[in-house]
Amino acid sequence: MLSAEDNELLTRIGPDARMGKLLRRYWHPIAGISDLETSWTRRVRLLGEDLVLFKDRSGRLGLIAEYCPHRRASLAYGIPTEDGIRCPYHGWEMDARGLCLDQPNETNHGALRGKPVTTGYPVQVLGGMVWAYLGKQKTPPRFPDYEFNNVPDSHVRPMRGLLKCNWLQGLEALLDSAHVGYLHNANVQNFAKTMIGSEETTNILLTNGAPNFEFIEKPYGFREGALRPGKTGNTYARIREVALPYFSFIPGRYSGMGTACCSIPIDDENTAQWYIAFNVDNPIDMERFRVFGMADINLDYFNEGMGGWHNMWQQDRKAMKDGYWSGFVGKGNPHEDFAVQESMGPIVDRSKEHLGQADLVIVRARRMLIDAVRRYEKTGETSFAGPEVEFPRIRALAITYPSSEDWKQFDAFNPPRALSAAE
């Protein structure tokens, strides 16, 4: 159970909120690179702030406050220029730094030329996405060059879902290994070969719904082992990497393919949840996505049309009577997760929870985030992003191994040959 005060600390992310001040010290994915191929502007809401991402005629990207500093017209309707964006209302022009370049409706093009008139934020393009930094430091912090940020664009496929709930609900779903054999029961059975691999591993996951949890603390967060002993002397381990404050690397069969997920706050009650599929060795295989019905989707809003309370998120009660656990027939794991997260309400009252051993990872993550806020307030230190963090070396692994071995010794980049990497 979390106190109401700590719940408020964790969930409120506005500019003046305690957590909001810390989160502004990190880089955030805000859009796919394909989003600006057909339009030069895109509205962005991040951490409670309304912004506009634009591409000038020189091809440079900028991120500035959405509303024109003159009469507050939205710059999402702006006109790209060689060096910035021009408001269509009276022609004011701003660049990516927030400087006024022109006031054509004023004598001598205005007295504000060359002066800051709005807020501009740094952006970077990596991993098939545009990233933004909303902090106040003149020099942004080091960029999290995760493995998927170091592959060609053809090797990575970021997909964004939009949730009507707080960011922490999204993050906690990404961290929870205990629900896989329950909420995703039907998908595990239907797509066992693609998702998990061997029949033995599938049986362990479906029959052992109470994994044992062990942890290795890391400077970026922690490595979690969700351990499910089988009946043949082997253990199935889902070894997750948690890179706080946002990222969970999902354990899967290692074949060069990986999945990273993050829960990014839009505001207190809305969240962008990114699923980033990548392959370090080969271009993305779209056939894998067709199996899950995720090939021909809107990458910017892949859960579009998911529904809500008005239609129970398209839950099929007849299918449930026939044995389909969740009732979300053919919808995939994200749909099942999103429905549960939204069903909790905009912001969960965690003071009413009753937690157990299966929730150890949730408790750990909450405590580390709370400690990070307090450390930042006391010392100014930004946790989880220090020089000792090796972002490119963060990789999850699902593996079946002899129970006499120690999962903590496994290297996800070089799993022991004597063990079976869940295939």
In a domain, 418, yes or no: no
pLDDT digits (tens, 9 = 90+) for 167-207: 999 999 999 877 877 888 777 776 655 555 566 666 666 66
In a domain, 1, yes or no: no
Let me know if 109 is exposed, middle or buried by CB neighbors in 10 A (0-12, 13-18, 19+).
middle
Let me know if 406 is exposed, middle or buried by CB neighbors in 10 A (0-12, 13-18, 19+).
exposed
Domain count across the chain: 2
Q: Choose among 361, 326, 338, 369: nearest CA to 165.
A: 338
pLDDT of 285 reads 82
Single-letter residue type at 198? S
Kindly tell me if the per-residue pLDDT of 235 is higher than 80: yes
pLDDT of 205 reads 63
Average pLDDT over residues 98-107: 95
The verdict on 64 and 157 lying in the same domain is no
CB atoms within 10 A of CB 248: 27
pLDDT of 147 reads 95
The verdict on 66 and 127 lying in the same domain is yes
pLDDT digits (tens, 9 = 90+) for 398-414: 888 899 999 999 999 98
The verdict on 335 and 297 lying in the same domain is yes
The verdict on 102 and 178 lying in the same domain is no
The verdict on 118 and 251 lying in the same domain is no
Q: In CATH, what number is assigned to the domain containing residue 225?
A: 3.90.380
CB atoms within 10 A of CB 332: 18
Single-letter residue type at 114? G
The verdict on 316 and 181 lying in the same domain is yes
Q: Which contiguous run of DSSP H or E holds residue 207?
A: helix 199-207
Give the residue carrying structure tokens 């946790």.
383
Q: Measure the CA–CA gap between 154 and 45, rounded to whole angstroms.
A: 27
Query: Where does a domain end: 101, 133, 165?
Result: 133
Mean pLDDT of the chain: 90
Helix (H, G, I), strand (E, B) or coil at 85: strand
In a domain, 48, yes or no: yes
- Enclosing domain of residue 76: 27-133
The verdict on 264 and 309 lying in the same domain is yes
Q: In CATH, what number is assigned to the domain containing residue 32?
A: 2.102.10.10
Q: Choose among 292, 220, 299: nearest CA to 252.
A: 292
In a domain, 138, yes or no: no
Give the residue carrying structure tokens 């964006």.
85
Kindly tell me if the per-residue pLDDT of 25 is higher than 80: yes
Tell me phi and psi for residue 185, to 5 degrees. -50, -50
pLDDT of 234 reads 85
* Spatial contact of 390 and 144, defined as CB atoms under 8 Å apart: no
Q: Which residues pair with 240 in a beta bridge?
A: 224
pLDDT of 423 reads 45
Q: What is the pTM of this model?
A: 0.92
The verdict on 293 and 172 lying in the same domain is yes
Q: Measure the CA–CA gap between 342 and 346, rounded to whole angstroms.
A: 7
DSSP, res 3:
-
Pairing of strands 79-80, 129-133: unpaired
Give the residue carrying structure tokens 């057909």.
38
DSSP, res 74:
B
Query: Where does a domain end: 133, 158, 182?
Result: 133
Q: Which contiguous run of DSSP H or E holds residue 123?
A: strand 123-126
Range of lowest pLDDT (117-121, 287-291, 342-346): 287-291
In a domain, 298, yes or no: yes
* Spatial contact of 347 and 165, defined as CB atoms under 8 Å apart: yes
The verdict on 122 and 161 lying in the same domain is no
The verdict on 123 and 170 lying in the same domain is no
pLDDT digits (tens, 9 = 90+) for 155-173: 999 999 999 999 999 999 9
pLDDT digits (tens, 9 = 90+) for 257-313: 899 999 999 999 999 999 999 999 999 888 777 655 676 789 999 999 999 999 999
Single-letter residue type at 324? Y
What DSSP letter does each residue of 228-268 carry, written as one string? EE-SSSEEEEEEEEEETTTEEEEP---SSEEEEEEEEEEET
In a domain, 250, yes or no: yes
The verdict on 110 and 161 lying in the same domain is no
